[in-house]
Structure 1
Amino acid sequence: MADNATRSKSKDAPARKVRNTESPAAQEAAILAAAAEEFTAVGVRRANVDEVAARAGVSRSTLYRRFPNKDALLLAVANDVYEKGMRRLEGAVRGLGAKQALVEAFAIGASMITEDPLLRRIVLTDPEMKGITASMTSLFVDIVTSRVAATLREEGAQMPVDDLLQAVEIHVRLVISFLETPMSDETRSEPEAVREFATKFLAPMIW
């Protein structure tokens, strides 16, 4: 009877996650991917760090050695999301020339925040995430401004450094503002309308 009960319990118990025995860098990437899924699905308050560890195939102690609390994990995920977004943006504008690169960067930045559910939570819709990542959002604005300005310089922008940085920062903040307060005319938020707006009003700021 005891053996049958033991077998029954074993049969009904959920299968153990396969332990992730890869390099520390690969484990960290798995943790960030698992955390991104968890934060996207349930937000900060309900996110379960144990579930993240299980999904990544690492122990609680391994996760906590790298990320001592949930806030630290969220900040790392946000940084990872931002970095991936920047690489996408930079790759998309290569070879377009400064003005067209600015237009495309503006449109892609808007679409990324709209389309990526986690990025949208971080930047726009989740008050708890915004509270935790507020300092990172400011840093994000600075980093994006610096990198977009550098990309525009590579694409031929000739204006003074400070002027270029200020112009790009305006564009970055406009993207966030546009998305935080959606326009009443939804057609103006469509990609081509966004590009037309950037071409008409923003591209002339770059020379």
Structure 2
Amino acid sequence: MTPKDAEDSIESRILDAALVQFELVGFKKTTIEDVARRAGVDRVTIYRRVGSRDDLVQAVVSREVGAVLAELAKLPGRHDNAADLVADMFVTVLSRWRQHALAQRMMTLEPERVIASLTTEGSTAFTLSVAAAAAAAQQATELGLLPEIPDVMTRMEVACRVVHSFILLPDITVRFESDSEMADFARTYLLPIVAG
């Protein structure tokens, strides 16, 4: 193991421990000491590697969002048509949100913080999501699944805003009981936004 691998391993242990601790008691009640004990490191190591508790929260959230965005990046190569790709992207994002233990636990423990991170404080994550969707669309274009889209960033932002609204307000008149219902919705309503 190289020194860089060792550093990455320690940071991963810290973030894994923080994720578990956040799921148990939330962000507010978690202390650096709690995370240090769970990770098997001292407090100074956390401050040096990650930073303050707020930095730790941001690092965990960024890692979890990054994992979903990395998953989205792989989807264009798995499909042979745009409708299935758009449906898979929509289902992936919504199902990951609905099944993510930390996201759901935080909606119970600290909904105000989650709502703020998805709205007034969420521009960075949203911008990354739009960029990831645009990159997936570009990859789909290169694979022949989508036509050239001159306003791809605008279309992806509109599509991401629709997905975002389902995260913020999951069930109003449109209710999804299954992945297939989500996929049908995406094919009917999101595909025209994406493909034109």
CA distance in 2, matches of 1:65, 1:85: 27
Residue aligned with 2:78, SS = coil
Larger of the two Rg values belongs to structure:
1
Unaligned stretches of 5+ in structure 2? none
Report the counterpart of residue 53 of structure 1 in structure 2: 36
Q: Which residues in structure 2 correspond to 1:159-178 (within 5 Å)?
A: 159-161=148-150, 163-178=151-166
CA distance in 2, matches of 1:120, 1:136: 18
CA distance in 1, matches of 2:48, 2:118: 21
TM-score, normalised to structure 2, is 0.82
Q: Residues 146, 67 of structure 1: CA spacing in aligned structure 2 closer, same or farther, 3 A cutoff?
A: same
Report the counterpart of residue 105 of structure 1 in structure 2: 89
Q: Residues 95, 155 of structure 1: CA spacing in aligned structure 2 closer, same or farther, 3 A cutoff?
A: farther
Q: Residues 172, 121 of structure 1: CA spacing in aligned structure 2 closer, same or farther, 3 A cutoff?
A: farther
Which residue, out of 42, 48, 51, partners 1:65? 48
Q: How far did residue 206 of structure 1 move?
A: 2.6
CA distance in 2, matches of 1:93, 1:40: 32
- Structure 1 window deviating more from structure 2 (45-54 vs 183-192): it is 183-192
Contact 1:167 1:206 (C-alpha < 8 Å) held by counterparts = yes
For residues 130-187 of structure 1, what are the alpha-carbon distances to aligned partners after superposition, in whole Å with 9 as ceiling and x for unaligned?
Answer: 44675662111111111121112211233434x2212222222222211322325685
CA distance in 2, matches of 1:172, 1:31: 31
CA distance in 2, matches of 1:106, 1:167: 14
For residues 89-111 of structure 1, what are the alpha-carbon distances to aligned partners after superposition, in whole Å with 9 as ceiling and x for unaligned?
Answer: 22244231333212210111010
Q: What amino acid sits opposite 1:65 in the alignment?
A: R
Residue aligned with 1:171, SS = helix
Which residue, out of 126, 134, 139, partners 1:154? 139
CA distance in 1, matches of 2:161, 2:106: 15
What's the % identity of the aligned pairs? 23
Q: How far did residue 123 of structure 1 move?
A: 7.9
TM-score, normalised to structure 1, is 0.78
- Structure 1 window deviating more from structure 2 (130-139 vs 66-75): it is 130-139
Report the counterpart of residue 124 of structure 2 in structure 1: 139
Q: Which residues in structure 2 correspond to 1:17-36 (within 5 Å)?
A: 23-36=6-19
CA distance in 1, matches of 2:184, 2:106: 27
CA distance in 2, matches of 1:58, 1:51: 10
